[in-house]
Structure 1
């Protein structure tokens, strides 16, 4: 009997302690809440909810992360937000996920403000930085779309195959366009063969890798033209040297 009373007292005390911490109906479906902060995985409380270890999952909503600076004992004003974006033309579908710094939230029925396009992950697993326009002509295979430029110290572009480089220009069987034909082409078209026009470059942009390979090809063709001209110059110089020698011999005979 004493054990039973002790167990009941323990349960009542536990329930009393729980009721002091949390408010709400004691059911498995009704919400519970509390006025003070909650900490999980740590004894420190920097915000209303502090997660010390583990992962945080929130479904069908917006996630905002604030930052607390313990040395200063205060909150920083900045935070960033993770929020679903619903396309107004098809509100039943979520088109992607935004991650952006603190400012007014998005509205699923309004156009996305410029500042909200800091980082966008589309439902097609494409990434936009500064833009949520991730489709264009002939770019379905692209994954990263960046607006306003990229500043970097290094950029390495992979070459998929041996024939992806322009050294085939130096092959023995490569047919170099004669200079007269090249002159006619430039006079007619106003640009080098294979090089896009100004209008085409503005309309379609340029492929950085393909353009570098094309420029290398033109440099190698220019090298071949230069070598051809140098060979012709050498032949002419040799002919002139021989003619000068013949003139000298003739002059000597005349003097005799």
Structure 2
């Protein structure tokens, strides 16, 4: 009898303790709430939820369409705030763009985007969800695009659609021979102007410079193009100095001839 009474007291105490900690039905399906902080693991922080260890957000089931079952974090407001409408959120979410939820995805990864609660995320990813994309396949980063996992992106880490506005860009030069000052070395062979004229007439562009068609098809590497343009400027400087030397020599001959004419009179 004493054991039964003790068990009854423990059950009452546990229910009383649970009711003090959480509000809501005592079952496994209905939501419960808590006004105080929640500490998970060996931690005691000042936030409402404090986790002392790893926090994992994962699919509830395997082979699901990307969408409501995909793990996500919301940041935003439930009510109207300033110029933001009700239920205005910014979302961090892992998404696949599988067409059937079973085949390997071409662009799986972590997306950061304004929330579109009414839109279906199954199938292809909408443009609005491509503000920031971190590829699960290779760790590359896309801003405004997730089309970064193809062979044309090999050798690159960051992809930005629609342009970049910044105050400063610094490009590292790996070695001294990567710059174009070798043009000023004494053993550098400058193309004769006559041959350069023939090349331009035949090809329609400067030597080594890509054609319009090549630039459109392949784009241009800014570092390589800047080095190439510097090389052409330095070659132009040599041509100018060469022409000035010829002019000075011609002027000297003219002065000499004029002196001979004047002395012979």
- Alignment TM-score > 0.5, same fold: yes
- Per-residue CA deviations over 1:123-145 (Å, capped at 9, x if unaligned) read 21000000001045554110000
Q: Secondary structure at the match of 1:34?
A: coil
Tell me whether 1:177 sits opposite 2:191 in the alignment: yes
TM-score computed with the length of structure 2 as normaliser:
0.77
Tell me whether 1:79 sits opposite 2:93 in the alignment: no
Q: Is the 8 A contact 2:75 2:91 kept in 1?
A: no
Match of 2:159 among 145, 148, 151: 145
Q: Is the 8 A contact 2:95 2:111 kept in 1?
A: yes
Closer, same or farther: CA 143–43 of 1 in aligned 2, 3 Å: closer
Q: Structure 2: any 5+ residue segments left out of the alignment?
A: 60-69
Instruction: Give the corresponding residue for 1:128.
Output: 142
- How do 1:1-256 and structure 2 match up within 5 A? 9=9, 12-19=12-19, 21=22, 23-25=25-27, 33-35=31-33, 39-40=37-38, 50-51=48-49, 56-60=55-59, 61-67=70-76, 77-88=87-98, 91-92=101-102, 93=104, 95-104=108-117, 107=120, 109-123=122-136, 124-251=138-265
Aligned-pair CA distance for 1:122: 0.6
- Per-residue CA deviations over 1:118-176 (Å, capped at 9, x if unaligned) read 00011210000000010455541100000000000000000011111000111111110
Q: Which has the higher strand share?
A: 1
Q: Distance in 1 between matches of 2:92 and 2:118?
A: 10
Closer, same or farther: CA 245–112 of 1 in aligned 2, 3 Å: same
RMSD of aligned Cα (Å):
3.3
Say how many residue pairs are matched: 238
Q: Is the 8 A contact 1:118 1:129 kept in 2?
A: yes
TM-score computed with the length of structure 1 as normaliser:
0.79
Closer, same or farther: CA 210–152 of 1 in aligned 2, 3 Å: same
Instruction: Give the corresponding residue for 2:62.
Output: none
